[in-house]
Amino acid sequence: MTVNTTINSKTPPNPRNQIELERNNAQFDITKMNYFLEGSKERSEEVERFIQQMERDPILAASPKQYDFTKAEHREWTAKKIARLSKYIELETFDEFERRISLISVFDPQLHTRIGVHLGLFIGCLRGNGSFDQMGYWALKKETAFVKNIYGCFAMTELAHGSNVAGLETTATFDQEEDQFVINTPHIGATKWWIGGAAHSATHAAVYARLIVKGKDYGVKTFVVPLRDSKHDLLPGISIGDIGAKMGRDGIDNGWIQFSSVRIPRYFMLQKYTKVTADGDVKLPPNDQLSYSALLSGRVVMVKDAFRWSSRVITIATRYAVGRRQFKAATAKPDDLESKLIDYPLHQRRLIPILALTYAFSNGANVLAETSSKTLEELDDAVADENQAGIDAGIESMKSLFIASGSLKSTCTWLTLKNIDECRQACGGHGYSSYAGFGKAFNDFAVQCTWEGDNNILGMSVGKQLVKNISSVLKDGVQTSGILEFLNNSKSIIGDKVILTPNDLKNPRKVLEAVEVAIVRASNQALITLDARNQDWDYIGADLVQLSKLLAHFFLLKSFLDKVDSIPERELVPVLDKLAQLYSASIILEGFSGIFLTYKVVSTETISYLSAEHIPTLCTDLRPHVIPLTDAFQLSDMMINSSLGSYDGNIYENYYKIVKDNNPPYIDKAPYSKDFEALLNRPSLEERQRDEISDEAQEILSSDK
């Protein structure tokens, strides 16, 4: 079949005009929508101020040039940026600066991580595990919190152990006579590995090592161990190297560390919960998880990253989809222009659910951060006041927080990595260009699925808590609290009563109820299987991960709906309700349709209607809003840093300019031209064989004479 397409070659494409038309038809105030996304007007204005400062800062601002940097250039520039950022931290509160570097994660993740290891993990470890005097000394008196005198790293992971923190093998043996700990790497498997900042930057490490006192192993505790002296030379007994090329984040100097009988004073052990006296008496914490609170802050940050990164890539892909015309829709008229990508139903199905998911990420991240901050502050206050009731309450809150953060960290990072690649593919061949921003984003973000808790391990851990808690509710009548409070209704919803019908799909609260029921029924079935399999938790590992994912979506959807119900800007509600419907329908119900059907939470009729009618209709309804909804993220061109995603929508001219600026046209030969010329101008095969395989040679050599 021949398709006749007439192209006016004198008229260049004008994607800029298309995005302006979309923007001019906005039906809501994007500034007020940003208040919703950031949590408040005050936070929104703060974010705007931070972005403006950083995009005007010649050291901090990102540019397309970074896509062509070598590893050495990435590291050098990252170090310069840390020096520049230290000027900001001297002028801001710690909370303000934490929110600033949260934005940096979008446009310079390696900078965010390299300084975040110091401020978030090292100092977070001091706060979580050190006494108040130790925290005051190491973080404040030494001015470590202001990136002065000390630069810290977080030495938890080892070559042979990562997720299994309890299995770490570095030792800290107490020498009572000298009142010292001896830190030692007993074998190659105990080498500290992947330690951000270790290779070149860190002067000190928060080392996770096995506490050995009087021959008894008390498990993994935390110690401050100096690595380099005041002239930045390695101290005796410290061996450090660079772990080499990585998939992404080349600006981080990840390294390995080995300790050879390194001695530190007893009081270099962080003793907020675990204490060792000069006599060798050991006092252990009420809950070992308290020692890992530094990881909690990292997981909270990664959920916020999921929102920031997804908002960036969906903005790029959406702006490109509005400006890019390709082919003609089946319903187009002969005189119509080629159709916009965003007007194809398939393209809408690929992108608009990601947009809805990103809106759900925003409030979930805000709620998790607020809950985490409140819980840690209350626990610190209780410890300071020696308030045992407060400590007990804090421990219970921490347990709930570990469950919530584990499910959200794993689920949101998985989804974000998927979002990045889907948005890249939605931009076709141009999405493969480094200057589009997707390639570096994917490589830089991928690590979030495995660091600070491997996602599958976290998922199984969270799922295990769900099954244990539903067992307590059903068998022992114990009441749960926190994120799992809804399990208290388990007895009334176990069964096969259908919860959701096609008529309920427009009510996200009804979908939320269906998610609760699905979690309860699936958890109960996992419990039944577990009992039948002699408590073989590994056998139900895949089920546990699915439970964790559903719990994360329960948290995200509930946070989203609660926020929508509370906002004063009621004019935003219609479009937010459509987003909530689409998120609950496409990401949750369609994404987990097997579970919802297996446990008869929804009918097959509902799932069929969902995919065939409900989701396509929602995408069509939201189609006119895609540019205002992405504009509402209020990401500047510096933060977007993409040839395809600039605010003006001028995708072709912007892309061409970036390519020319970074790769100026030239007429000189390539450095490897001689090799290529030799390839093309090589002698014939006969000449290279010295004519030894020629007919003449054959005749002579085969002669009987």
196 is in an annotated binding site: yes
569 is catalytic: no
Which residues, in sequence order, are CB contacts of 112 under 8 Å at separation 6+?
Answer: 101, 102, 104, 105
Is residue 434 a contact partner of residue 572, using CB atoms and an 8 Å limit? no
Q: What is the CA radius of gyration of the chain?
A: 29
Which residues, in sequence order, are CB contacts of 672 under 8 Å at separation 6+?
Answer: none
Question: How many alpha carbons lie under 13 Å from residue 450 in its C-beta half-sphere?
Answer: 9
**CB neighbours of residue 664 within 10 Å:** 7
* Four-CA torsion 175, 176, 177, 182, nearest 10 degrees: 20
**CB neighbours of residue 293 within 10 Å:** 22
191 is in an annotated binding site: no
- CA atoms of 94 and 100, how far apart (whole Å): 10
Tokens of 48: 């705007």
Query: Which letter, b or e, does each residue of 203-221 get, where b requires 16 or more Cβ atoms within 10 Å of its Cβ?
Result: bbbbbbbbbbbeeeeeebb
Which parts of 69-135 fold into alpha helices (H)? Answer: 71-89, 94-107, 109-116, 123-129, 132-135
Q: Hey, what amino acid is at 423?
A: C
C-alpha closest to that of 342 among 327, 352, 356: 352
Catalytic residue among 177, 452, 569, 590: 452
Burial of 151 (0-12, 13-18, 19+ CB in 10 A): buried
Residue 683: helix, strand or coil by DSSP? coil
Q: What is the DSSP string of 14-32?
A: -HHHHHHHHHHT--S-HHH
Is residue 88 a contact partner of residue 100, using CB atoms and an 8 Å limit? yes
- CA atoms of 516 and 269, how far apart (whole Å): 44
Is residue 254 a contact partner of residue 111, using CB atoms and an 8 Å limit? no
C-alpha closest to that of 224 among 343, 123, 365, 300: 123
Q: What distances in angstroms separate CA 376 from CA 290, 293, 408, one per listed residue?
A: 10, 9, 18
Q: Residue positions in the annotated binding site for FAD?
A: 157, 196
Q: Which residue numbers are catalytic?
A: 452
